[in-house]
Amino acid sequence: MKKLISAIICAVLCLGLLAGCGSAAPSGSGNEEAALREPLVGTWNQITDDGSPSLPEMGIPSAYIFNADGTGLDTFWNMSFTYQTDGEKIHIAYDDNLGEDWDYIYTITGNTLTLTRVDDDAITMLYEKELPEEESETVEE
């Protein structure tokens, strides 16, 4: 009887260890979230409808910098933020004392990011991805 109980305990322990060896990234893990953020990662400079830089008359560059870890920088306000994506939505929460946060619907087409605020104003803004130096040289050739 002791051998049977020992065998059952051993089998249960082995099954428990095998279950722990499943997928490396469980659903909802940081790896999955990072994969969803990947298309946003980089520097996005604001442009107008015709593709020209936005706000050149003010001399203030307006861009979003999205990092892979879910943090970023709004260069216009020089404010850091965290962001989360959920399907076609992005939530940006600024790291300021005011607790400002915004929800957008976003799309990426080629090197253009379109952000449309989810509120009564529904303001739409366009951004162009800043390519690394070697990529921009290749595109121009």
**Domains of the chain: which residue ranges?**
31-130
Q: What is the pTM of this model?
A: 0.66
Cα 93 to Cα 72: distance, rounded to the nearest angstrom? 10
Nearest CA to 95 out of 116, 74, 68 is that of 74
Cα 65 to Cα 2: distance, rounded to the nearest angstrom? 64
Q: What is the mean pLDDT of residues 94-100?
A: 81
Nearest CA to 54 out of 80, 76, 78 is that of 76
Q: pLDDT tens-digit profile of 66-75?
A: 999 999 999 9
What percent of the chain lies above the pLDDT cut of 70? 61
Cα 107 to Cα 90: distance, rounded to the nearest angstrom? 10
Residue with tokens 């059952």: 8
Length of the chain: 141
Q: What is the mean pLDDT of residues 48-62?
A: 66
Q: What is the mean pLDDT of residues 94-117?
A: 91
pLDDT at 141 over 50: yes
Cα 62 to Cα 130: distance, rounded to the nearest angstrom? 12
Nearest CA to 71 out of 94, 88, 87, 89 is that of 94
CATH number of 31-130: 2.40.128.640
pLDDT score, position 54: 62
Cα 61 to Cα 59: distance, rounded to the nearest angstrom? 6
Instruction: Tell me the residue type at 84.
Output: Q
pLDDT score, position 4: 47
Query: 17 versus 48: which is more confidently predicted?
Result: 48
